[in-house]
Amino acid sequence: MIDGHSVSLVMPCRNESGHLADLIEEIPDFYDEIICVSNKSTDETVQVGRQIEKKNKKFRLLIDNRSAKGIGYGFAHMTGIAAAKNEYIVCADSDGTYPIEVFPQILEQMNVRNLSFVSGSRYPDKEIPPKLQLGVKILNYEIALLYWFRIHDSLSGMWVFRRDIVPELHLTEGDWNLSPQIKLNAHKYLGKQFAEIKIKQKHRHGETKQSYFNTGMKHLIWIAKNRFIEPRNVQHAD
């Protein structure tokens, strides 16, 4: 809890058993609730999570094995967000790349600027792989061209928002496309209550779960399609 505001942390987890316990130990005490949603883990992520639950009363492990063409990133997020109980929700990947410790500073900016949704922007950052930077720049340009909306990091996986605005986000995408969707919908439905705030990406624990090229192409197609045909129902699972 920070200045009387309660906060939940939501993290999708897939094959994170090797570092999950250490990651949870590093989470700041001001988080009132930690929700880890395992999606199609084939290692011992679930077993490790159950052991953490016994030791940490703030921690909950949920399981959502739905996927769309093998990817369940969005489904895991939607399940975790729906389960969160606190005033604010912070979403971040469970590989340690996002600075979840900066929530107090982001909350301060949200209060000063009357924001209800913040997306962390990693750019510019020369330490991020050039091919990822190029891909994000292409998607940023596509969004600017199609939506008349300037964004610096269309694929950031760290978001901070008030729980009461979740219905206004109209989340439907069960795969990687939840990432651009949540920002586009926050901008569309929340207007000036949406903003990006600069963050610094940290060192990744474990291996990335995606192919930058393949995922980038799917984002490119989805962003264009969404401009003209907005999804109404939750994406069909495999």
pLDDT digits (tens, 9 = 90+) for 151-193: 999 999 999 999 999 999 999 999 999 999 999 999 999 999 9
* Three-state DSSP state, 56: coil
pLDDT score, position 204: 61
Asked whether the beta carbons of 174 and 72 are under 8 A apart, the reply is yes
Residue-range domains of the chain with CATH? 7-228 (3.90.550.10)
pLDDT score, position 205: 62
Q: Return the DSSP state at 18.
A: T
Distance CA(149)–CA(139), nearest Å, equals: 12
Residues 35-61: what's their mean pLDDT? 96
Averaged pLDDT of the chain: 92
pLDDT score, position 207: 59
Of residues 69 and 100, more confidence is placed in 100
pLDDT score, position 237: 81
Asked whether the beta carbons of 110 and 118 are under 8 A apart, the reply is yes
pLDDT score, position 130: 74
Q: How far is CA 14 from CA 86, 107, 167, 177, in A?
A: 24, 28, 26, 17
Q: Is the pLDDT of residue 209 over 60?
A: no
Range ranked top by mean pLDDT from 46-50, 127-131, 215-219: 46-50
Of residues 131 and 189, more confidence is placed in 189
Is the peptide bond prior to 124 cis by the omega test (within 30 degrees of 0)?
A: yes
- Of the candidates 182, 21, 207, 22, the one whose C-alpha atom is nearest the C-alpha of residue 91 is 182
* Burial of 206 per CB tally in 10 Å (0-12, 13-18, 19+): middle
Of residues 68 and 163, more confidence is placed in 163
Give the pLDDT band of residue 56 (cuts 50, 70, 90).
very high
